[in-house]
Amino acid sequence: MNWKSVLSKDGTVKYLFTTSDKQNIESVFIPQKTTSTICLSSQVGCALACTFCATGALGFTRNLSHEEIIEQYETIMKDQNIKELPNIVFMGMGEPLLNLPSVKKAVDFFHNKIHLSKKKITISTVGITPQFPAVAQLGTQFALSLHAPSDALREKIMPINKKYKISKIFNALSVFQFTKHKPLMIEYILLNEVNDQEEHIKQLITLLKKYQYPYLINIIPYNAHLFSSYTKSSRAEKCKQQLIQAGFKTFIRESRGQDINAACGMLTGLTQIKKLNNP
C-alpha cells in the first residue's frame, strides 16, 4: 500500500494508506513514555453509523485483508524505527468483529511470528455477540464500546443497539475469563448533556454491578469533527470520581492527535472527506 503521514504537535503520527483498489484507511502511532501504541484499522469505513464517530459517516466499503492489517503495523514500525514491541489496539476504522477472520489471522501473526504477547493486543467492539466465543478463544484484551447505560439512550447514539441489546451483550460476555489482571475494558465517550449527567453515571454503576465482571473503565472525551454536532463534556473528572467512589478502576483517556484528526472517533481518510464534502 502507498502511504503518507502527518505529525501532531503532541507527537502522535497519523498514517493514510491507499490500497491497491484505491481505498483509503488510516492508522495512528501514539508515542508514550513506556510502551507506545499502534491503532489499526480493520475495515474501509464502517457500517455501524455511531452518531459520534466520523468513520461511521462514511458508510462501509469493504473488509481489509489480514495482509493489509499487518502492513499497517509493519509500515509504522519501520517508519518510526521502533525497537521494542508496542501495544496494538484494533480501535481504528471499522468494527473488528465484523471482519474477524482477517483480524484473527493478523493477531496470530503478531503473536506467533513477532512474539507479541496477547496482553498487548486489544480488540474493541460495540458488541457483536455471535463472535464473542471466537474472540474469547483468541485470548487478547477485550474492550466494549458501551457509551450509554440504557438501551433507550444507546439506541439513539448507536443504532446497532437495536439488534444487540445491552443485556444480551453482557450475558454473552460470560464466555470470557475476565480477571483482575485481564479485566473487561468499558469504553464510555462523554457527550455533553447526552450521557454525562450524574443520573447517567448512576445508571452505569447499577448496570456494571449487576453483572459483576472485573472492569476497567475508560472515559473518553469527545473529539469534535465535521460530521457530528455533539460537544465535549466538562464533567469528565466528576464522572471519573463518581465511578471510583463506586469501586470501579477508572481512567480518563488522554486525547492525542486532535490537531491532525487522529484522536478517537476522528478517522476518515482524506479522500473520503473530500467525497462527503463534494458528493
Residues with catalytic function: 26, 264
CB 230 within 8 A of CB 268: no
Which amino acid is located at 233 in the chain?
S
| CB proximity list for 12: less than 8 A, separation 6 or greater | 28, 29, 30, 31, 256, 257, 260, 262
Cβ neighbours around 62 below 10 Å, total: 13
Which amino acid is located at 220 in the chain?
I
Rounded CA separation 15/114 (Å): 22
Report DSSP state, residue 28: E
Rounded CA separation 168/148 (Å): 15
Rounded CA separation 145/203 (Å): 16
CA 119 to centroid of chain Cα atoms: 16
Rounded CA separation 231/77 (Å): 34
Cβ neighbours around 270 below 10 Å, total: 14
Q: How far is CA 42 from CA 69, 99, 200, 235, in A?
A: 6, 7, 31, 32
